[in-house]
Amino acid sequence: MKQIVLALMLATASTAWAQKVGQPAPDFSVPDVQGKAVKLSDYKGKYVVLEWTNPECPYVRRHYNSGNMPTLQKELGAKDVVWLTVNSTNQSSSEFKSPQDMAKWMAEKGASPKATLIDKDSKVGKLYDARTTPHMYVIDPQGKLIYAGAIDDKRWATEASTKSANNHVRAAVGEAMAGKPVSVAATSPYGCTVKY
């Protein structure tokens, strides 16, 4: 019975996220770790990846410690994809990181997003219905959401096996850039809940 309920919950969640795919990505303006306002619409005409993160989350740490997330940031950045890492942990949470702490952690992990954003009032996270860390979104040059969900298909992977997973973000960007439809446009994200 528990498995049936879980399957129904996942199917419902997947449907909810899938409904956003194909729609315009909501615009936002939020400060980066240097305090500079970053506006999504400034990157219209480019592919954009949004990554929700929280350094306290074991799933996030796995993707950073294995080098998986930093490698993908560098790989897609070299293709002129704009990568925005968003921390929507509310400033009232014990897991909230100051801009300085967040910048230090990202540097220690060798991360290279275009910007790391501090969504301290959680407005952008709620706007996108970001549920987990990580939760990934891909936006095309027209500003349309073309992927939403998990970074890959290995929820329970170890650090060592993470790199062998089927990476949904890499696949979505690759297919879209090749002029193909995104074959897997929505998945159920996994990780820790966003601390709203």
Looking from the CA of 39 toward its CB, the CA atoms found within 13 Å total 3
Segment 91-121, tens digit of pLDDT? 999 999 999 999 999 999 999 999 999 999 9
Amino acid 163: pLDDT: 84
Amino acid 112: pLDDT: 97
Taking residues 151-167, report their average pLDDT: 92
Supply the range of the domain harboring residue 36. Answer: 2-193
Amino acid 20: pLDDT: 87
* Predicted confidence band of residue 131 (pLDDT cuts 50, 70, 90): very high
Amino acid 18: pLDDT: 43
Supply the CATH number for residue 21's domain: 3.40.30.10
Higher pLDDT, 16 or 122: 122
Classify residue 5 by burial, with Cβ atoms within 10 Å: 0-12, 13-18, 19+: exposed
Looking at every residue in the chain, the average pLDDT score rounds to: 91
What global pTM score does this model have? Answer: 0.90
Contact (Cβ atoms closer than 8 angstroms) between residue 52 and residue 118: no
What is the tally of structural domains in the chain? 1
Contact (Cβ atoms closer than 8 angstroms) between residue 99 and residue 86: no
Cβ neighbours of 114 (radius 10 Å):
18
Least confident of 35-44, 147-156, 158-167: 158-167
